[in-house]
Amino acid sequence: MRRILLSLALLLPLAAVAADNDIDKVNGSVHVDAGQHAGDVSSVNGSVHVGERAVVQKASTVNGSVDLGAQAHAGKLGTVNGAIRLAAGSQVTGQVEAVNGAISLARGAQVDGHLSNVNGAITLDAAHVAGGLETVSGDITVGAGSHVEGGILVEKPNNGWFRWGSERKPVVVIGPQATVQGTLEFRRPVVLKVSDSAQIGPVQGATVEKFSGATP
Model confidence pLDDT, tens digit, residues 37-69? 999 999 999 999 999 999 999 999 999 999 999
Domain count, the chain: 1
Portion of the chain with pLDDT greater than 90, in percent: 85
- Does any domain span residue 216? no
- Does any domain span residue 203? yes
pTM (predicted TM-score): 0.89
Buried b (16+ CB within 10 A) or exposed e, 178-209: bbbebbbbbebebbbbbbeebebbebebbeee
- Does any domain span residue 183? yes
- Does any domain span residue 108? yes
- Does any domain span residue 51? yes
211 exposure class (CB count in 10 Å sphere: 0-12, 13-18, 19+): middle
Residue 188 CB partners (closer than 8 Å, separation 6+): 136, 154, 155, 156, 157, 166, 169, 170, 205
Tens digits of per-residue pLDDT, 147-159?
A: 999 999 999 987 5
In three-state secondary structure terms, 57 is strand
**Three-state secondary structure along 142-188?**
ECCCCEECCCEEECCCCCCCCCCCCCCCCEEEECCCCEECCCEEECC
Q: Which domain holds residue 97?
A: 2-211
- Does any domain span residue 45? yes
Residues in the chain where the model's pLDDT stays below 50: 2, 4-19, 161-162, 164
Q: Report the pLDDT value the prediction gives residue 159, as an integer from 0 to 100.
A: 59
Residue 188: name the closest of 162, 210, 212 by CA.
Answer: 162
